[in-house]
Amino acid sequence: MLSCDIRPKAQLALVPESLARQVCWDSLFPEMPAELFGPEGEQEIVVPMVLILMDESTPERQRRLDAVEAYAQSRFFWTQTLGKQPVDSIGKAHVRFVANAQGQVQECLVNLDPVGERRDAFKLDSDLQARLTAQCKQINLRQMPGFKVGDKGLARGNVLVEYAPWKGGPQHN
């Protein structure tokens, strides 16, 4: 991805433009066939962003709230770890953690895997994996959205973070 422009519509007024732009830069799209690109090797793609408002009476409300929390946690780990690392492939990092009630990480395991639509763009990078694990162990997880301590005084969780060279926008690169 080279650029991400938001074309405002009336409905976009419900969402800050900065959030819409962030979602755009965070998106992973399937690879496009080479014949769809122009002579400059570029192609403009217009993708609609569908916004679903949560109504109190919606039966799917909890599922959507869970998805919003998962996105917020993914962004948190992106900001704290992957966003600080150079990446040259497309993949997903599975982060499993155990932290104490103060948010200090006791255990952290990071696995890197390909994204289904872009398997050919994945490179297994053991150095990146080691750096991410080390960074994870330094995070204060009390700052993470949805941080919850269980009945044994520990917070356990799994977070999925997709990554690509363009993620985070041009200021990241």
Q: Is the whole-model pTM more than 0.85?
A: no
Q: pLDDT digits over 13-59, tens only?
A: 556 677 777 777 887 777 777 787 778 877 777 777 666 666 666 66
pLDDT of residue 16: 67
Helices (H), the chain: 17-26, 61-80, 126-136
Is residue 168 a part of any domain in this protein? no
pLDDT of residue 81: 92
**Residue 48 domain boundaries:** 10-163
Q: Dihedral of the CA atoms 51, 54, 55, 61 (nearest 10)?
A: 140
Does the pLDDT of residue 65 top 50, yes or no? yes
Count of the separate structural domains present in the chain: 1
Q: pLDDT digits over 121-134, tens only?
A: 999 999 999 999 99
Is residue 171 a part of any domain in this protein? no
Percent of the chain with pLDDT over 90: 49
Is residue 1 a part of any domain in this protein? no
Is residue 3 a part of any domain in this protein? no
Is residue 146 a part of any domain in this protein? yes
64 within 8 A of 53, measured Cβ to Cβ: no
Is residue 80 a part of any domain in this protein? yes
DSSP run (H or E) holding 100:
strand 91-100
